[in-house]
Structure 1
Amino acid sequence: MELLSVIRRWHHRDRCSIREISRRTGLSRNTVRKYMRAESVEPRFHVPDRPSKLDSYANKLTAMLRVEVGKSRKHKRTVKQLHADLVTLGYEGSYNRVAAFARDWKATRLREQQTSGRGAFVLLAFVPGEAFQFDWSEDWAIIAGERTKLQVAHVKLSYSRAFTLRAYPLQTHEMLFDAHNHAFRVLGGVPRRGIAGLDAAQVAHLADMGNLDPALADKLIENVVATMNIPVGIATNMKIDGEDVLIPMATEESSVVAAVCNAGRQNYDTGFVTSVSGTLMIAQVQAVEVRDPQAARLRVLERREEIKAACDACDPVLVGLGGGFRDLEVRLIDTPSGTMVVTHLIVDTRDAMGANAVNTMAEKLAPAIAQWTGGRVYLRILSNLADRRLARAHAVWKSADIGGEAVRDGIISAYQFAAYDPYRAATHIRMRDQPRD
């Protein structure tokens, strides 16, 4: 409170009387005298410790707030919802008290986050065998009459300060490991942990978030600590539908790109022939608690043209490109909870994957389907079983080009294994036709 400092300034600097200060502030002269005699520049008032209706629910509310902190912003419950939950548990206090508690809890948590883990702590005392320190330095030496630059590896025990030095022509991983092996052999053991300084390149490597901005990565998913870079190679020797094609492949596994290049080279004369069954995707609208599923199915099918008009109105751009609603299916699925009526909206999404387009159509039609079926609609979403959008590639290899008849027979055997055993098929690339000469 600034009033006390103002009163002191008027009295000591401006030489105002207590009567004048009382007139200016509206305070009694006794209060002004009390402020003048106070040792502090801010008055303190005794606030009695009164019990609150929220006291017995404080632990429960704290637990709720901790749970909500871990959720994404979209899924967090509001303080009003938390207040409603407390009311169901018997809380009779006001919403304002709950809101004040939540504000104080969030402010305390923010202060803890801002102060915890700050500053540097350097451990200077160690027990025997606890740690060692490693670092590189540069030095010069005359070798065979020539002045040569050397990279010197330093390993020092943190407790006894015993150390080893070993010189190398370069700082490579192999020489790094050799320096450690030599030091541990000479010093007679391996400490429990090591302390190593990082050069600018190593710090930059750890800080590298690839091509993805750290702020963007933190918005895409939760609890971001880093990003992962995957090597991208180019598969060559690939002829597809009569045209030479370079195929980028992102993989961390060695020999995969080389194997693709080799396979392309072996059948380069004929190449790969591709075909596509179509560009149709399916959106599913699930209706449950339907009294007469058969009648509901017929009612939906009768409205095919109405459904087509509603779907095409959702995405006129897609319709302008030649896509849009193509067909309608209604399936009855028996479950322990009753028969579900599942409507399939079959949509031509053209070159797009189509998830947003078909999901929008399903959302648009959900209320109408609920009315037509007399049931409750839950899911209204894309199906990833794209059995009307299959891409196939066909190729022929001569047995002589792939290692002879023994290799050919092994490939056929592997195909048959996957064709008749689901455990193998789950990890095997299925082929439509059997290999042949």
Structure 2
Amino acid sequence: MGAREVNFDGLVGPTHNYAGLSYGNRASSQHRHQASNPKEAALQGLLKMSRLMELGLTQGILPPHPRPDLKALRQLGFCGSDQRVLEEAASDAPELLAGCYSASAMWAANAATVSPSADSADGRVHFSPANLISNFHRSLEAAFTAELLKTTFPDPDYFVHHPPLPACARFADEGAANHTRLATSLESPGVQLFVHGSQPGTMRKPQHYPARQTLEANLALARRHRLKKGCAFFVQQNPQAIDQGVFHNDVIAVGNGMSLFYHEQAFAEPEAMKSNLEDALGTGLRMIEVPQSRVSVEDAVRSYLFNSQLLTLPSGECRLLAPTECLDVEPVRRYLDTLTATGTGIDRVETINLRQSMANGGGPACLRLRVILNDRELAAVKPESLLTKTRLATLVDWVERHYRDRLTLMDLADPQLARESKTALEELARILKLESLYAPFL
């Protein structure tokens, strides 16, 4: 039975703003309080989805979360009418208001960890929504994400949905941004690489920025996904890289098929990792290590080189879809000029403009959740969650009609923005046939 990798991209929401809420994410901090352009951000994301479809890949979509999250503000003590809640929060706790308006669910790589049926003992696809407890604004996403995944992948014969891990520091989980899968083919059992930033009993930990993924979370994910023996590998991220702004592993490494593209300083014990992966996957494994002498960690973070998408096209071609910022950072541009000629297995490099998302700290890989599905599983996905040319055109028109082209933090206190967002999402729910999903949250 054939299988394919489907990218389910997060659609940027109408309240996309630059509040700088993500400590440790340098791009987010650097653009704090600048004006954003939600319309441009959403259209850039849709253009990326369209490009992947042009390349012959199956493309899915995950819609925005309802924002502002007025229920969360009321839980935090703000009361009265919706307008009163927004006004009081803007006056007394603007950072909480910004958190409840955040469109960060657009970065679907943090939505969940997904294990394909080929790796699972019960032969089903397993989903675990991330608890995202490291940041208040992201922790608000877990409940809606859980329901969204159940709606998108509804058939229990093929899909298993687990609840988020317990919401405590011991099981801090940021989803697939710290997880990748390598395999000789999509249909055969592979190796799932679970990357953690901290683990009990070790002195290796970042000194400046927090480690957002724990070893105990990864061990729990592998257990609950019932991974077959030899399918789970646990690797620690380099703490020094975290302190340089590598808040997730997908800022410093990306894998696909039999290729792992990563920075020399990505992992705490790179030689042991390479040896273990080679033993598990054999001689066909391509370890594409970028040396610090060619691209520094700082330049990798500035350009988001490793937050590219590593794609295997239907023709067999391996393509790197990189953010345009890679062309702005000279050492990265020079490295990419030679990448395809050095026998790495990457056949072509293509860049794409996602500057609105990049300014908030998320590149091409951040915007997508990868789900490997065989033919039967793909047929069981909610049809409206898969993009077609017609559906894509409808979404472009929806964005053009409902999104603002300028948004500042001062606008978050305006009740009109909340009304606009609700109206937009009510129409989107009808377009994607998600009325029952959105109704309890709007």
Q: Which has the higher contact order (CA 8 A, sep 6+)?
A: 2
More strand by share: 1
Give the alignment's TM-score, normalised by structure 2. 0.17
Give the alignment's TM-score, normalised by structure 1. 0.17
